[in-house]
Structure 1
Amino acid sequence: MMAQQLPPNKKYNPKKGRIGGVIFGGIFAAAGCFAAGGILFDEHQNDLLFRLLMAGFFLLVFGGLGVFLIRHALKKTNLQQELDKIRREGIASDQKSGHKYMTIFGLVFSLPGLLIMVIGLVKGEAGALAGIPFALVGLGLYAYGNKQKRTYQVIGPTVLKPDPLPPVTGHQLGGRFSLSAKPRNGLTLRLSCLHTYSSGSGDNRTTHTSVLHQQETRAYIETDSAGQQHIQFLFELPADVPESGNESYKGTVSWQLAAEGQVTTARKVPGTQIAELMEFKRTWDLPVLSPALAEALGIALTQSDIAIPEQHQQETRAEQRQEAVESVERQIDMTTLPSGTTEIISEAGRNKSMWGILLAIGAIFGCVGLFLLYQATQEGGGLWFMAPVFCLVGWGAFLYGLFLSGRKLETYISADQADGHGQVQIIRSVFGRQLYQRNGCITSPSQLELKMTMSSTSQDHVKTEYMAIYANIDGKSIKLAEGIEGRLAGEAMLAKIKAALTQRLDDELI
């Protein structure tokens, strides 16, 4: 494929996105114009100044927003020009301009609202009440924008310089940025590939974001003579992940880098000489290309010039392993009894964020289903189809959440003195009542397997995997431990079980 055959905006301005932006912008602009015209020519309102203010308000807010959306949708961005701009200026964090939009929208909403209130009160007209909600919303947005601005200015700009540029799947993704504030206990960098898409229609239309790939590392930090902190990082991208704007997915695919931690600033805690401690969080959107697109654009694939010292990498891996071990020790009780039997207890009531959501959502959908069922008995029709669906989905999720909240798994591994094999017994119970018991024999640690059973994603796009450990015995998978939060914690638990087995098995089984 030749470069000239590629649409110039293939990755950054998909056709559907442009059409959607124009449609939504047109709706807002038309609504603003119709509202302004209706108010301006309202025969029941005699005050011309009041009509002009109200018409100008709707025209400015809705019409202005519509024009902004249309211009943004029609904006042409050439990928090569965008990369050249990043090479010159770097990538500003998402937090750089967020407060500006809040402040502008706050002023746009509040000023006309305040004028309408003042004029209405002076003239004693009830129309003054129409300005109250706009003024309150506008002032709230303005105050929130100012708060964001102060927080951003205290820490300062964090312009990211990617290296190499552009990053390509299957190769390295690195970068650096400077920080005037001093990290307290280092910074965590998280790289995520996000898939954002919409489902449903009309009032039921919702936007979802799923994490296709995610990895974390600890930042390598150097301090210069002026006290400036220079943050560096380096990731290895898998070859089987999608690039930015991959069109085989419904919606959009994007890559995001997040840096988190605590920093000390130049500001002092009031009344003391102690430096103020602040939460630090910055996010950047990164352009990640596929090898085919990079080749088509004539971009040479190069390694990053960033060199992370081996000692820092070893310390990072050791720290992650230690955190995983401590995490799994808090989650799973594993002890060796005087008889030499290893006891592994996956207690009930853990993973509240998982089963709590199922209980809440299940109860809501289930109650809606019962209400629809009642309405169906009164009205009939299509409600007879909707009610059972809501009831089954809702109460099914509720019962599953109830099971997860009360489930307990007890595992006992003991050595058979005759052949040295590990004898396994597991007991499943729910709310203290035993459901079943299984037994088996482990002859090799290779029978053990770590599997992801569930996953959840937070509002900050942090993906949490819930792991379980199985033993493949006589063609069946017997679960030994469950509900382990985090893949690294699951790997640490797997290593602990293998260690318990290999202490008693022959050397050839290690």
Structure 2
Amino acid sequence: MQTKRDRSWGIAIFGLIFFSVGMGFLFAFVLPALYDGYRMQSWPGTQGYLISTSLDSHYSDNSTTYTAKARYQYRVAGRSYENDRVAIHTSGDNIGDFQETTGHMLESHFSNKQPVMVYYNPADPADSVLIREQRWEMIGFELIFFAAFGGFGATALYLGLRGKKINTGPKIQGKLWLEKTEWADNIIRSNAKSSTYAMWGFTFFWNLVSMPLAFNIDTIYQKEGILAAIALVFPLIGLVLLAFAIKSTLAWWRFGITPLSMDPFPGIIGGDVGGEILVNLAYDPAMRCEVTLSCIHSYISGSGKNRSRHESVKWQDSGYAKIIRCRSNRNRLQFKFTVPEDLPQSENHSDSYYLWRLNIKSELPGSDLSRSFEIPVFKVPERKSTITVDSPSFRPTGTAQISATSLLPIVKSSGSTLELYYPMLRQPLTHLMGLVFGGFFAGIGMFLWAEAAREGTMLYFMSSIFSLIGGGIMLAMVYALFNTLRVRFDGRNIHTIRRFLGLSVKQTTLAYNTITDIIEHKSSTSTRNGSTHQIQYDVIAQTEQGKTVLAEHLDSHSKAKLVAEHFQQLIGKTKVTNQSHRV
């Protein structure tokens, strides 16, 4: 494959401007202050007297900047000198309480006619200062601006000059997997490196904004009292983000690039999607490495400044990868799935496109293994994979085999009779979090309603929107927490009863011969992070009158399919129509 770098000179120039501003901060403020602080430590001192003092203040944008000023006189070797430099930093600021404390101290000395200590440059006695201690909080504040502008500029400059690798070889019509440089050589890299960079970038800019609050916490406490604790939350979040960024970096160093090779290449709609991942990991046959394959619709919604990208999972399956010993501290993780034939194939990135994502995860001592790959899956003539493992059914050493009955909350099973019971408080953490989220929205609505009497009718409208959304979410979460479901197969009929707090909500009786199909149906999707989603499947019975839920909260397509097939056998049917991708 012939490739070249397509450099972006516009981004490079843009980055150079920001980088220059950052370097300006470094050479104009940080380095001179550090140099002055260093050389002043060796200056001798002499007694001086204040001629005038003042504490000037400047108000702007809801903040106050202070400047401690003084003019003083001193003698060196019988000669009199005057100067007005108070500290290493000569400009006003509101970082901490240094300026106010210094100003009050100088005013006290002046009013009481007390002498002050003056430190002077022995090579040039006219060069002097009253306070030669370094203000490290000020240095840190200035370094934030240097790092922000310089770091952003250096990153943009690097990305612009590095450019993007593009395929300059002949185009192969209809074979996107050979046109995209990320796929063409069948060595697919994860997003771990870019995610780590993004994590550091977000952490950096969050701390850029929040750390000045930490430097200024004394001033905030004096003005706002206990509310200063709220201001501290943001720097604390910054420290948490820093911990995650360090954790991500350690994981990257531990496991390396982890290249993925597909077999077959590309993955096949209606056939096998398999491959192996090379990872820096000591061989352990008992290690459990979860692998999840997802078909995802990525799209942009909204308009103008409100445009944002979202992801919707159309189909998902999960299981385990098999560990194959390769060589010392270098092993292969093999996986394979069989996917339905009527799912969308991989597409070029656009405002709305489909992609296939593979996630692997393993909890290990120290850094956990977690990688995400965008892989090519297309509708091409079927070719069988040489990989023998079937990830949905494969179980590592020490992991129990999955059967339909192990996935169901069975309370009674005898012959053709089967009874299931889903109690209250299923998945309590998820629903409690939803309840808190809804309560937050409803609380905003109540607050806006109280403010509307003063601010006008528009707030009544906004209050109604927030209250309806928040109240609706809360009602849904309460129902999810406190409903139960009982399902009973008696050999001829299926009986279901849904209750809420013990009160019957819905009862259904389905004769076996009226059931046209039993299918897997996506019921909900949750997002663990930006690139990992978790689908919950229900198994439902279809009749001409509608659909009835028979099983809930199955966390993979294969598990839902296994349960559906089990129900088919119970009612004397063998054909299962796979409709798990329908939403």
TM-score in terms of structure 2 length:
0.58
Q: Secondary structure of 2:401's match? A: helix
Mark the CA change 1:72 to 1:487 in structure 2 (over 3 Å): closer, same or farther. same
Residue 332 of structure 2: aligned partner:
230
Q: Secondary structure of 1:232's match? A: strand
Distance 2:471 2:493 in 1: 39
Aligned pair count reads 441
Instruction: State yes or no: 1:283 paired with 2:385.
Output: no
Conserved 8 A contact 2:448-2:462: yes
Question: Equivalent of 1:323, from 380, 399, 402?
Answer: 402
Residue 182 of structure 1: aligned partner:
283
Question: Equivalent of 1:480, from 550, 555, 562?
Answer: 550
Distance 1:89 1:223 in 2: 21
Instruction: State yes or no: 1:72 paired with 2:159.
Output: yes
Residue 435 of structure 1: aligned partner:
505
Mark the CA change 1:496 to 1:447 in structure 2 (over 3 Å): closer, same or farther. same
Deviates more, 1:279-288 or 1:44-53: 44-53
Question: Equivalent of 1:397, from 451, 473, 487?
Answer: 473
Residue 298 of structure 1: aligned partner:
none
- Alpha-carbon deviation of 1:413? 3.0
- Alpha-carbon deviation of 1:407? 0.9
Distance 1:431 1:232 in 2: 47
Conserved 8 A contact 1:324-1:488: no
Distance 2:523 2:498 in 1: 17
Q: What do the CA deviations read for 1:240-269 (whole angstroms, capped 9, x no partner)?
A: 4353642141xx876544332255xxxxxx
Q: Pairwise CA RMSD of aligned residues?
A: 5.6
Paired letter, 2:425: G
Q: Secondary structure of 1:371's match? A: helix
Paired letter, 2:346: E
Distance 2:461 2:19 in 1: 40
- Alpha-carbon deviation of 1:463? 3.1
Mark the CA change 1:489 to 1:27 in structure 2 (over 3 Å): closer, same or farther. farther
Residue 128 of structure 2: aligned partner:
none
Q: Which aligned pairs between 1:37-52 and structure 2 lie closer than 5 A?
A: none
Residue 272 of structure 1: aligned partner:
none
Segments of structure 2 that go 5 or more residues without pairing to the other structure are 31-64, 69-84, 92-137, 169-178, 216-231, 576-583
Paired letter, 2:259: L
Conserved 8 A contact 2:319-2:393: yes
Distance 1:360 1:75 in 2: 46
Paired letter, 2:289: L
Distance 1:500 1:239 in 2: 28
Q: What do the CA deviations read for 1:260-312 (whole angstroms, capped 9, x no partner)?
A: 2255xxxxxxxxxxxxx455414254463878xxxxxxxxx899897213xx3
Instruction: State yes or no: 1:360 paired with 2:436.
Output: yes
Conserved 8 A contact 2:335-2:391: no
Mark the CA change 1:306 to 1:56 in structure 2 (over 3 Å): closer, same or farther. same
Q: Secondary structure of 1:246's match? A: coil
Distance 1:89 1:341 in 2: 51
Q: Which aligned pairs between 1:70-469 and structure 2 lie closer than 5 A?
A: 72=159, 76-80=163-167, 90=187, 93-95=190-192, 149-153=249-253, 155-163=254-262, 167=266, 170=269, 172=273, 174-183=275-284, 184-192=286-294, 208-224=310-326, 226=328, 228-234=330-336, 240-243=343-346, 245-249=348-352, 256-262=357-363, 277-278=365-366, 280-286=368-374, 288=376, 307-309=386-388, 312-313=389-390, 316=393, 322-323=401-402, 325=404, 328-329=407-408, 332-336=409-413, 341-415=417-491, 422-443=492-513, 446-459=516-529, 461-469=531-539
Q: Secondary structure of 1:79's match? A: strand
Q: What do the CA deviations read for 1:159-189 (whole angstroms, capped 9, x no partner)?
A: 4152469746648553441434123334233
Instruction: State yes or no: 1:58 paired with 2:58.
Output: no
- Alpha-carbon deviation of 1:369? 0.8
Mark the CA change 1:446 to 1:80 in structure 2 (over 3 Å): closer, same or farther. same
Conserved 8 A contact 1:174-1:233: yes
Paired letter, 1:221: I
Paired letter, 2:349: N
- Alpha-carbon deviation of 1:402? 0.6
Q: Secondary structure of 1:490's match? A: helix
Residue 269 of structure 1: aligned partner:
none
Q: What do the CA deviations read for 1:102-129 (whole angstroms, capped 9, x no partner)?
A: 889999999xx9xxx9xxxxxxxxxxxx
Mark the CA change 1:261 to 1:203 in structure 2 (over 3 Å): closer, same or farther. same
Larger proportion of helix: 1
Residue 47 of structure 2: aligned partner:
none
- Alpha-carbon deviation of 1:436? 4.0
Distance 2:425 2:235 in 1: 47
Conserved 8 A contact 2:258-2:279: yes
Q: Secondary structure of 2:451's match? A: helix
Residue 127 of structure 1: aligned partner:
none
Mark the CA change 1:78 to 1:164 in structure 2 (over 3 Å): closer, same or farther. farther
Distance 2:429 2:233 in 1: 36
Segments of structure 1 that go 5 or more residues without pairing to the other structure are 118-131, 264-276, 292-300, 416-421
Q: Secondary structure of 1:241's match? A: coil
- Alpha-carbon deviation of 1:397? 0.9
Larger proportion of strand: 2
- Alpha-carbon deviation of 1:380? 1.5
Conserved 8 A contact 1:244-1:253: yes
Structure 1 vs Structure 2: percent identity of aligned residues? 19
TM-score in terms of structure 1 length:
0.64
Deviates more, 1:194-203 or 1:463-472: 194-203
Distance 1:389 1:412 in 2: 42
Distance 1:107 1:438 in 2: 57
Conserved 8 A contact 1:187-1:218: yes
Structure with larger Rg: 2
- Alpha-carbon deviation of 1:363? 0.9
Conserved 8 A contact 1:375-1:383: yes
Distance 1:84 1:483 in 2: 39
Paired letter, 1:401: M
Mark the CA change 1:334 to 1:407 in structure 2 (over 3 Å): closer, same or farther. same
Residue 121 of structure 1: aligned partner:
none
- Alpha-carbon deviation of 1:389? 0.9
